[in-house]
Amino acid sequence: MSKTEENLATAFAGESQANRKYLAFAEKAESEGQAGLAKLFRVAAEGETVHAINHLKALGGVAETAENLKSAIAGETYEIEKMYPEFISAVEADETPAKLSFTRAEKVEEVHQKLFQEALAKLEAGEIVADGDYYVCSVCGFPSAGEAPEICPICGALKDKFKEV
């Protein structure tokens, strides 16, 4: 990796994190009745997304869709098989929020992995991947195709916590 490629990777990671952090800050501002501040965070977050995607493209990190699916599957597989198991076994007994966050994410990554694998198989078979309805749990991220379940199978959240994507 050249110095610039390294810098692009670092900038991509930083801008990606800033995007999600600002969205979390916007949610907090909203809950405090600060709609104007919430919007300011969302405006900045949107710009950070533009930066992150530009850095990733300049790095050559966006290929054809079949390759992108393979890259996504590799990322999910790493998280399921190595990253989260190691992180979960390293949490201390009193670190409940961290353990819950890692455990739920790990379970959702298994669903992502399966969805991407099914999509790649269809793409390679020359079939169309249906443009269906999806709902995502706002508590744990679990994706549900077709309609939202009454109760999230991963975190137990009720149907009204699901957002249509």
- CB of 22 closer than 8 Å to CB of 41: yes
User: In angstroms, what is the minimal distance from the CB of 76 to Fe ion?
Assistant: 5
| 109 lines the binding site for Fe ion (CB under 5 A) | yes
Nearer to Fe ion, 38 or 112 (CB): 112
Q: Give the binding-site size for Fe ion (rule: CB under 5 A).
A: 11
Which candidate, 3, 6, 11, 2, places its Cα nearest to that of 55? 11
Which residues in the 34-93 window bind Fe ion by CB under 5 A? 76
- Interacting residue with Fe ion among 12, 41, 135, 142 (CB under 5 A): 142
CA distance 60 to 136: 29
| 137 lines the binding site for Fe ion (CB under 5 A) | yes
The SS3 call for residue 57 is: helix
- CB of 165 closer than 8 Å to CB of 135: yes
Q: Is 76 exposed, middle or buried (0-12, 13-18, 19+ CB in 10 A)?
A: buried
| 15 lines the binding site for Fe ion (CB under 5 A) | no
- CB of 57 closer than 8 Å to CB of 65: no
| 157 lines the binding site for Fe ion (CB under 5 A) | yes
Nearer to Fe ion, 15 or 76 (CB): 76
- Interacting residue with Fe ion among 139, 143, 144, 159 (CB under 5 A): 139
Task: Write out the residues near Fe ion by the rule CB under 5 A.
Answer: 76, 109, 112, 137, 139-140, 142, 152, 154-155, 157
